């Protein structure tokens, strides 16, 4: 596949000025830019990246080549490189009112610090849930369509700690290729996400895969209804503004019979002392950890969301304090 690239960190700079996209395979004037983008991006911060033109904040990363880069992409732009045509699911326009309600103003400095902290401070947690994630991803891949490209959406992509599971040779069977769509409101996560996927791709299987990173929130996913073959959500629903709305959006974008895999920390139901501590420190956690709540009853939300089936477990991670109470499983649309 041909790698699309643009001016470095273009997603960050796009909040302030308009950038023309270019492709490594073509000259800049080979691309017909959408003239409406520049006005939409001035002054209104991250919301403008989705309002009116949802794909304006889209980054495309080729997992199969040795180079790396990102590209502002919009389906209305014309690009003959071929890489942009790989994606199965289109990124769609969203109601600006809906976006402004859920995609709230953010601090660049706080986003940078939180992304850096997540990239460095979650190694122990990821090791603790590794076996469980491997089993869940194996079940997800078993449910993906065979012999065709499959679209998998990561809600709350973050630093992409799940990257390695997409290239684990033990679970790769079924789809001919993957269209990965990563949605996250923190733009500072992208550099860590692309680094993790490059590492996973280099050491894993040779699966044909394409990753698109788009700025967005769980409550307003920029995807058509019934467009995703699977949705992955790990340590995300603790931080969304409206868990019920977020899970309803997950169900909306899933194709009938498609899996929703989740791993989340929740309010303890079997340790009253831990639950009391979680409630006591909840406000501080929200303020210090990008909206992360310690009092969420996420499994209850998922079980009431109208999925055809929910197969889940509650478990505890010794040594992880306030986030030791966890739930994991797969819900089927």
pTM of this prediction?
A: 0.78
Which pLDDT band, with edges at 50, 70 and 90, does 283 fall under? very high
Q: Is the pLDDT of residue 9 over 80?
A: no
DSSP characters over 284-305 = HHHHHTTT--SS--HHHHHHTT
Closest residue by Cα to residue 237 from 218, 220, 221, 252: 218
**Lowest mean pLDDT: which of 123-132, 179-188, 201-210, 235-244?**
201-210
Could you give the CA distance from residue 137 to residue 111 in angstroms, rounded to a whole number?
28
Query: What mean pLDDT comes out for the span 187-191?
Result: 97
What's the rounded Cα separation, in Å, for the pair 34 and 276? 53
Give residue-wise pLDDT tens across range 128-174: 999 999 999 999 999 999 989 999 999 999 999 999 999 886 555 67
pLDDT one-digit tens code per residue, 221-280: 999 999 999 999 999 999 999 999 999 999 999 999 999 999 999 999 999 999 999 999
And the tokens for 159? 């630093």
Contact present, 35 and 78 (Cβ < 8 Å):
no
- Residues in Cβ contact with 154 at an 8 Å cutoff, skipping those fewer than 6 apart: 160, 162, 180, 181, 182, 183, 231, 232, 233
Give the pLDDT of residue 1: 23
CB 118 within 8 A of CB 157: no
DSSP letter at 79 equals: -
- Percent of the chain past pLDDT 70, that is, above it, reads 72
The answer to whether 307 touches 333, Cβ cutoff 8 Å, is: yes
pLDDT of residue 121: 94
For the chain, the domains span 96-332
CATH architecture of 96-332: 3-Layer(aba) Sandwich (3.40)
Which CA distances in Å does 15 have to 281, 288, 297, 304, 317? 34, 25, 35, 38, 40
Cβ neighbours for 265, distance < 8 A, ≥ 6 positions apart? 235, 238, 294, 296, 323, 324, 325, 326
3-state secondary structure at position 310: strand
């Amino acid at each position: 596949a041909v790698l699309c690239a643009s001016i470095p960190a273009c997603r960050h700079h796009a909040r302030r000025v308009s950038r023309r996209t270019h492709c490594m395979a073509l000259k800049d004037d080979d691309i017909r830019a959408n003239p409406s983008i520049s006005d939409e991006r001035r002054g209104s911060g991250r919301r403008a990246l989705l309002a009116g033109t949802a794909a304006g904040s889209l980054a495309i990363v080729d997992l199969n080549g040795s180079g790396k880069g990102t590209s502002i992409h919009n389906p209305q732009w014309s690009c003959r490189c071929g890489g942009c045509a790989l994606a199965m699911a289109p990124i769609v326009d969203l109601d600006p009112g809906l976006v402004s309600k859920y995609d709230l103003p953010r601090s660049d400095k706080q986003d940078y610090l939180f992304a850096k902290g997540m990239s460095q401070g979650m190694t122990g947690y990821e090791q603790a849930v590794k076996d469980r994630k491997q089993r869940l991803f194996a079940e997800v891949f078993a449910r993906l369509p065979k012999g065709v490209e499959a679209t998998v959406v990561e809600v709350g992509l973050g630093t992409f700690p799940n990257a390695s599971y997409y290239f684990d040779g033990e679970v790769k069977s079924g789809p001919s290729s993957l269209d990965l769509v990563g949605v996250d409101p923190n733009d500072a996560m992208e550099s860590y996400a692309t680094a993790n996927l490059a590492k996973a791709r280099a050491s894993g299987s040779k699966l044909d895969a394409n990753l698109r990173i788009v700025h967005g929130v769980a409550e307003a996913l920029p995807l058509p209804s019934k467009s995703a073959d699977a949705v992955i959500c790990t340590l995300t629903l603790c931080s969304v503004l409206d868990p019920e709305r977020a899970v309803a959006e997950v169900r909306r974008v899933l194709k009938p019979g498609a899996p929703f895999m989740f791993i989340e920390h929740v309010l303890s139901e079997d340790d009253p002392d831990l639950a009391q501590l979680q409630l006591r420190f909840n406000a501080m956690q929200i303020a210090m950890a990008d909206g992360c709540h310690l009092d969420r009853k996420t499994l209850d939300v998922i079980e009431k969301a109208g999925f055809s089936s929910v197969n889940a477990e509650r478990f505890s991670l010794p040594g992880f304090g306030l986030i030791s109470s966890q739930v994991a499983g797969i819900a089927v649309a």
